[in-house]
């Protein structure tokens, strides 16, 4: 870093070469080039060529930005056998010195922050393989300089970043997934790997990335500002995420709307379909309560101003279904390099796997869009929740008509699916939402279910903490909604075996978990995310009046300041002198836990802040500061903001 004089590399450690070639089969030996030429192209660019006796050569260019402390790394590989080579690692940057009190910010879901990762995990693996939220990573500590790590892919190619740790050293691997085939002998990715200096933390890295990201097509064509989005989504004040028949979902949503008064309630509706969850996909129709009852309940809810997005997994097919064999579904699924599928068992009761379809396949796009057509046009639903959107799988099936392995067919196929749905439901203009968040989907999906504010309830305690990294880049350009916070024990699907149904199913949780609920709602509020209550029931109004008033107050304030909290830019949060960190009870929930471990709640204790804050700038340049106290006592603190930083 020229500005601070900080040296990132341990120059005494043994250097490694800048690349590596990964064969399809581990036992294969590839004749790699052994010589290198280095040539300076200009003051800001250098060219490196690796060559040898064989035909395989690599050519890399590294150039420096003329104004910013960023470097851009590109690569080209020629003369290889495309049937043998699976991946090209470039750049492979080794011997980065460990930072003091090191932190790594990852673009997983809303954002994940790891501290002291060498003590908790030896490797964080391929962080961008299956959830390409953004192409951004930050690595820093107490030193004056950290590292900004990114790629600038605008075409949604499959790729991965691997970060691994040795004693006091860190290695970065940019893994480029190659398009395979005997006819392939030339590879040149359309994107650069970007490495730069970082002064600050994850928020500062987000601002560097944001400058580039706001110029990309997914931001300029985002659904929120396109004028195409059905207005009920941006007008939603709170979500209810309930499961089962309409009497357990829409009736309860109507009760919440009655309690709140003049606020808009929308519904995320799981387990409405005919068949066990995590098993019977995509055989959703007819609804488990029958078409007539379902349609009547939907119409009555809409008359009360309640909108709903029923759940339909957008990529999976259950292998236990008759249709799996009858329609020879295996020919349409995504396959790994060894020919196996990406099948996974979620349902702990049946142990039946569900398998990701290949998004390039017209068969799947027609099947799923027909389901959406029925749910919206025939049943009257005002949207569809497309579960497991924003995922990214590789497919090595040579019969699918797409490039084998690498390529950008996955996202392109998914976007074609969304457009097919919109063609069939154009008159109703339903809201289409997906799981997690992803910049590639911003121009096609209306909203993103981001549950990181409730990570402890979903996954228990971990070595990472949640951060609003995606919000810091894209908040005013994408609607994020949801958390996993609620008042009850987990629900149970009526199609699952009755003997494994926990006696406490959807009953009230102990009061000691109320602070956790307030924490989850506070995170949602200060991150500018649309709030949610999970498994809501009318009894909460009397049983938990303090928490209900707390939620109502947050809903009211969010609506009052929507120009900031939905349409504003996230600024750096005020620095609180004292956030009154206190150890609280944490309930980790498990829908399947009662069968596998004899309980559906795993108790933990965790130290969390009692005070939460954020800062927002609206279109006129005005600043809003938010403060939330989740304790039951008044707290006094002081805070600092940088006026220049706020603009």
State the pLDDT at residue 128: 47
Angle (CA) 326-327-328 rounded to 5° is: 95
What is the pLDDT at residue 317? 98
At residue 166, the pLDDT reads 86
Contact 72, 151 (CB under 8 A): no
Cα 99 from chain centroid (whole Å): 27
Cα 263 to Cα 557: distance, rounded to the nearest angstrom: 11
What distances in angstroms separate CA 33 from CA 37, 40, 59, 80, 541, one per listed residue? Answer: 11, 21, 11, 11, 71
CB 555 within 8 A of CB 524: no
Residue 632 CB neighbour total at 10 angstroms = 10
pLDDT the model gives residue 581 = 98
Strand order in the sheet with 20-23: 20-23, 85-97, 169-177, 159-166, 123-126
What does the CA dihedral 327, 328, 332, 335 come to, rounded to 10 degrees? 150
**Residues 309, 314, 318, 324, CA torsion sign:** positive
The confidence score (pLDDT) of residue 129 equals: 47
The pLDDT of residue 108 is: 87
Beta strands (DSSP E) in 127-273 are 136-140, 146-151, 159-166, 169-177, 179-180, 186-187, 193-198, 238-243, 265-270
| Alpha carbon distance 159, 179 (integer Å) | 11
DSSP-derived pairing of the beta strands 45-51 and 35-42: antiparallel
Place of tokens 């480029």: 176
- Nearest alpha-carbon partner for 14 in 89, 96, 95, 97: 95
pLDDT in tens, 88-144: 999 999 999 999 999 999 998 899 999 888 877 766 765 544 456 899 999 999 999
Contact criterion met (CB below 8 Å) for 206 and 198: no
Extract the residue ranges of the chain whose pLDDT is less than 70.
Answer: 122-123, 125-132
pLDDT digits (tens, 9 = 90+) for 555-569: 999 999 999 999 999
**pLDDT, tens only, 144-188:** 999 999 999 999 998 999 998 888 999 999 999 999 999 999 999
Q: Alpha-carbon distance 243 to 493, whole Å?
A: 8
SS3 at position 416:
helix
Whole-number pLDDT of residue 351: 94
Angle formed by the axes of helices 545-560 and 246-260, nearest 10°: 70
């Amino acid at each position: 870093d020229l500005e601070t004089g900080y040296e990132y590399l341990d120059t005494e450690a043994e250097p490694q070469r800048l690349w590596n070639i990964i064969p399809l089969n581990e036992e294969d030996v590839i004749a790699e080039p052994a010589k290198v030429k280095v040539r300076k192209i200009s003051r800001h660019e250098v060219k490196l060529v690796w060559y040898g006796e064989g035909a395989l050569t690599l050519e890399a260019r590294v150039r420096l930005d003329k104004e910013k402390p960023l470097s851009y790394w590109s690569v080209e590989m020629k003369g290889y056998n495309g049937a043998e080579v699976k991946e090209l690692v470039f750049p492979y940057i080794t011997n980065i010195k460990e930072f003091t009190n090191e932190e790594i910010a990852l673009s997983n879901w809303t954002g994940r922050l790891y501290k002291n990762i060498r003590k908790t995990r030896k490797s964080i693996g391929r962080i961008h393989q299956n959830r390409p939220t953004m192409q951004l990573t930050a690595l820093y500590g107490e030193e004056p300089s950290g590292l900004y790590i990114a790629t600038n892919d605008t075409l949604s190619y499959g790729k991965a970043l691997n970060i691994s740790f040795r004693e006091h050293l860190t290695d970065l691997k940019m893994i480029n997934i190659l398009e395979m085939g005997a006819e392939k002998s030339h590879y040149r990715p359309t994107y650069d790997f970007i490495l730069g200096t970082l002064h600050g933390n994850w928020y500062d890295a987000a601002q560097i990335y944001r400058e580039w990201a706001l110029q990309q097509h997914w931001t300029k064509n985002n659904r929120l500002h396109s004028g195409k989005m059905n207005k009920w989504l941006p007008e939603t004040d709170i979500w209810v995420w309930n499961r089962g028949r309409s009497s357990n979902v829409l009736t309860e949503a109507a009760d919440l709307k009655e309690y709140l008064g003049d606020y808009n309630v929308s519904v995320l509706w799981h387990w409405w379909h005919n068949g066990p969850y995590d098993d019977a996909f995509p055989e959703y129709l007819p609804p488990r309560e029958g078409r007539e009852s379902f349609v009547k309940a939907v119409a009555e809810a809409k008359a009360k101003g309640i909108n709903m997005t029923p759940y339909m997994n957008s990529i999976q097919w259950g292998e236990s279904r008759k249709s799996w064999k009858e329609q020879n579904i295996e020919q349409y699924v995504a396959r790994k390099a060894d020919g196996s599928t990406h099948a996974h068992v979620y349902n702990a009761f049946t142990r039946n796997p569900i398998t990701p379809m290949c998004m390039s396949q017209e068969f799947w796009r027609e099947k799923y869009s027909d389901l959406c057509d029925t749910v919206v046009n025939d049943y009257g639903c005002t949207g569809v929740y497309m579960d497991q959107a924003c995922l990214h799988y590789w497919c090595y099936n040579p019969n699918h008509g797409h490039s084998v392995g690498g390529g950008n067919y996955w996202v392109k196929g998914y976007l074609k699916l969304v457009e097919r749905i919109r063609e069939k439901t154009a008159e109703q203009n339903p809201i289409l939402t997906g799981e997690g968040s992803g910049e590639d989907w911003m121009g096609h999906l209306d909203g993103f279910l981001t549950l990181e504010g409730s990570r402890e309830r979903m996954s228990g305690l971990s070595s990472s903490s949640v951060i609003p990294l995606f919000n810091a880049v894209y908040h005013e350009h994408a609607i994020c909604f949801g958390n996993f916070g609620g008042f009850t024990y987990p629900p149970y699907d009526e199609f699952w075996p009755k003997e494994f149904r926990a006696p406490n199913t959807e009953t009230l949780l102990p009061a000691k978990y109320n602070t956790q609920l307030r924490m989850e709602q506070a995170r949602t509020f200060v991150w500018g995310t649309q709030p949610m209550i999970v498994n809501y029931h009318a009894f909460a109004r009397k049983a938990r009046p303090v928490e209900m008033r707390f939620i109502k107050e947050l809903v009211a304030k969010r609506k009052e300041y929507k120009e900031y909290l939905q349409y504003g830019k996230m600024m750096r949060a005020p620095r609180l002198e004292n956030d009154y960190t206190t150890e609280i009870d944490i309930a980790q929930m498990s829908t399947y836990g009662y069968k596998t471990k004899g309980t559906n709640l795993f108790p933990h204790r965790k130290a969390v802040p009692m005070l939460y804050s954020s800062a927002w700038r609206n279109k006129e340049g005005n600043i809003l500061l938010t403060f939330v106290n989740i304790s039951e006592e008044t707290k006094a603190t002081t805070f600092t903001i940088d006026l220049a930083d706020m603009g």
